[in-house]
Amino acid sequence: GYLLKNLPCKIIDFQGSKEETVEIARKQSLTQKIIVAVGGDGTVADVIQGIIKARREKDVILGIVPFGSGNAFRKSLGIPKSIKKAIKLLKEGETREIDLIDIEGKVTGIASIGATAKVTQEKLQHNIQGFLGHILASRTMPSLPKTEQQIELFDGISDNGEHFDKKTLNLSLYECVIGKTSYFGYSWKVAPKAKIDDGFLDITLFETSGLKYLLFFPLIYFGLYQKTQKHFKAKKMIVRGKDLPVQYNGEFLGMKDKFEFRVLPRALKIICPRNNKQ
């Protein structure tokens, strides 16, 4: 009611499957100029997928009103947590073009390979929602092994500022985070160097053990420990290994021996606070 009163619009009140949400967003994208996603990270991700699926990303503007448990995407863009302030922003904010990540035909603001993907799989299997679900699923993290991975990076930048056309790394990794946005859910600043519109994937490679990851988690949560790990920017990344688990936006994508990630520059128009520089 508050949304309709303060922002006259057509409202679709819907709680269905991920596929159904994507399809509704796709259909609405064909005729609407602005679509507002009211929900958490899952809803926002599904609406974005629908806009991309309709091939209307150059025409449709996305607005966000947070109403969920994670809200990492809105936090990365400086969109207020308050529903009333977020609705006010829809009228007073500015439209900004942001990058996205493409992985196996799915679009996302952040993804990971390894431990957090396994935790995501565990949480979804037990169907425990919210913060409690994350805590219960995370109890296995200290015992999760590192995996041997070959990582190919294309058209990138090393942390020392050196540009490269291609770089191949053979590493034993506990976790690999690929970001455009900076946060996982619950304000976890997992990719502190990610920039939403710099045209690159932001890649952090955790070579630490599961036990050490857990011990240093407070520093990882605030984005401080990441300074000690390998970090790169690249426009494309190919990862090879054995049964690698991958998650995107809190959804478990699956386990495969090869995944390809690439940046989609200026792939989405979104209403953000003015002068927000994430």
Q: How far apart are CA 176 and CA 171, in angstroms?
A: 11
123 vs 232: which has the higher pLDDT: 232
Q: How far is CA 231 from the centre of its chain?
A: 17
Task: Considering the domain delimited by 2-98, tell me its CATH architecture.
Answer: 3-Layer(aba) Sandwich (3.40)
- pLDDT tens digits along 190-209: 999 999 999 999 999 999 99
Give pLDDT, residue 184: 87
How confident is the prediction for the chain on average, in pLDDT?
A: 90
What is the domain partition of the chain in residue ranges?
2-98, 106-265
What is the dihedral angle through the alpha carbons of 73, 136, 213, 245, rounded to the nearest 10 degrees?
Answer: -70
Q: How many CA atoms lie within 13 A of 166 on its CB side?
A: 4
Q: How far apart are CA 34 and CA 66, in angstroms?
A: 16
Predicted structure pTM score: 0.90
- pLDDT tens digits along 237-255: 999 999 999 999 888 999 9
Give pLDDT, residue 130: 56
Q: What angle, 0 to 180 degrees and rounded to 10, lies between the N-to-C axes of helices 41-53 and 18-29?
A: 50
Strands 61-66, 251-272: pairing kind: parallel
Give pLDDT, residue 14: 75
Determine contact, residues 241/147, Cβ cutoff 8 Å: yes
Residue 214 has pLDDT above 80, yes or no: yes
Please state the length of the chain: 278
User: Which CATH number, 2.60.120.380, 3.40.630.10, 2.60.200.40, 3.40.50.2300, labels domain 106-265?
Assistant: 2.60.200.40
- pLDDT tens digits along 97-134: 999 999 999 999 999 999 999 888 877 666 655 555 55
